[in-house]
Structure 1
Amino acid sequence: MWRAFAQGSGAYCGKNPRRGLCLMAAHPTILALDGGGTHTRAVVIAPDATVMAQATGPGCNPFDRPEWAENLRHLLAQMPRTTLQSAVLGMAGYDAARPSSAQQEQVARAALGPNVRLWLENDVETAHRAAFAGQAGVFVLAGTGSVAMAVGANGQTARAGGWGWLLGDEGGGYWIGRKALGYATRYLDDPSVPFAAFAQALLLSLNLPTTGPTAPDALREWLRTRTHPRSAVGDVAATVHTLAQNKETYAIALLRAAGGHLAELAHATAKQVSNLPPSPLPLAWSYGGSVMHNPVVLQTVTSLLGTKPHPATLPPIGGAVLKAAELAGWHSDATWICQLARNLTHGKAIA
Structure 2
Amino acid sequence: MEIKIGVDGGGSKTEIVALDQTGRVLRNLRKPASNYHLVGMEQATQNIIEGIRDALQEESVQGIGISLAGIDTPEDWKNMADNLKGELLVLGQKTGVNFQDIPVALENDVYGALMSVRGEFSGNVLAAGTGAVALGINPEGRVIRVGGWGHLIGDQGGGYDIGRKALVAMAASFDEYGPKSLLESTITKHLGLARVQEIIDWLYQAKRTNKEVASLVPVVVETASRGDFIARSILVEAGVGLGLLTRALLRKTKTLELGIVGGIGNIWGYIESSFNSTVSVEFPTLQILKPIYTPSVGAALLSTIDQVRHIEF
* Alignment TM-score > 0.5, same fold: yes
The reply on whether 1:240 has 2:226 as its aligned counterpart is no
Instruction: Give, in angstroms, the shift of residue 240 of structure 1.
Output: 1.2
When you count helix as a share of all residues, which structure comes out higher? 2
The reply on whether 1:101 has 2:77 as its aligned counterpart is yes
Q: 1:49 — aligned with what?
A: 23
Structure 2 counterpart SS, 1:309: strand
Q: Partner amino acid for 1:234?
A: A
**8 Å Cα contact 1:226/1:232 also seen in 2:** no
Instruction: Give, in angstroms, the shift of residue 117 of structure 1.
Output: 2.0
Q: 2:283 — aligned with what?
A: none
Q: 1:139 — aligned with what?
A: 125
Instruction: Give, in angstroms, the shift of residue 255 of structure 1.
Output: 1.0
Range 147-156 or range 73-82, more displaced: 73-82
The reply on whether 1:289 has 2:262 as its aligned counterpart is yes
How far apart, in 1, do the equivalents of 2:31 and 2:234 lie? 30
- The structure whose RCO (Cα within 8 Å, separation 6+) is larger is 2
Identical counterparts, % of pairs? 25
Q: Partner amino acid for 2:3?
A: T
Range 259-268 or range 309-318, more displaced: 309-318
Q: Partner amino acid for 1:89?
A: I
Instruction: Give, in angstroms, the shift of residue 191 of structure 1.
Output: 5.1
Query: Of the candidates 184, 190, 207, which is equivalent to residue 199 of structure 1?
Result: 184
Deviations 1:233-279 (A, max 9, x none): 111112212222333322221011011111111111121233xxxxx
Q: Partner amino acid for 1:238?
A: P
Q: 2:95 — aligned with what?
A: none
Matches within 5 A, 1:168-247: 168-188=154-174, 190=175, 193-210=178-195, 215-216=196-197, 218-225=198-205, 227-247=207-227
Q: 1:313 — aligned with what?
A: 292
Distance change (3 Å), C-alpha of 1:245 and 1:318: farther
Q: Partner amino acid for 2:129?
A: G
Q: Partner amino acid for 1:208?
A: L
Structure 2 counterpart SS, 1:165: coil
Instruction: Give, in angstroms, the shift of residue 31 of structure 1.
Output: 0.4
Structure 2 counterpart SS, 1:94: coil
Instruction: Give, in angstroms, the shift of residue 192 of structure 1.
Output: 7.6
How far apart, in 2, do the equivalents of 1:103 and 1:249 lie? 46
Instruction: Give, in angstroms, the shift of residue 131 of structure 1.
Output: 0.7
Deviations 1:129-162 (A, max 9, x none): 2213326432111000100012223323211101
Structure 1 counterpart SS, 2:288: coil
Deviations 1:302-350 (A, max 9, x none): 33223341222322223223233668xxxxxxxxxxxxxxxxxxxxxxx
Range 66-75 or range 46-55, more displaced: 66-75
Q: 1:79 — aligned with what?
A: 55
How far apart, in 2, do the equivalents of 1:240 and 1:226 lie? 24
Distance change (3 Å), C-alpha of 1:167 and 1:76: farther
Q: Partner amino acid for 2:62?
A: Q
How far apart, in 1, do the equivalents of 2:305 and 2:139 lie? 21
How far apart, in 1, do the equivalents of 2:83 and 2:52 lie? 10
Deviations 1:205-257 (A, max 9, x none): 111124xxxx42x2122234575421111111122122223333222210110
Distance change (3 Å), C-alpha of 1:51 and 1:135: closer
Q: How many residues align?
A: 287
How far apart, in 1, do the equivalents of 2:276 and 2:13 lie? 26
Unmatched segments (≥5 aa) in structure 1: 1-26, 275-281, 328-351
Unmatched segments (≥5 aa) in structure 2: 93-98, 281-285, 307-313
Q: 1:272 — aligned with what?
A: 252
Q: 1:344 — aligned with what?
A: none
Matches within 5 A, 1:329-340: none
How far apart, in 2, do the equivalents of 1:283 and 1:156 lie? 16
Instruction: Give, in angstroms, the shift of residue 59 of structure 1.
Output: 2.9
Q: Partner amino acid for 2:36?
A: P
Range 45-54 or range 166-175, more displaced: 45-54
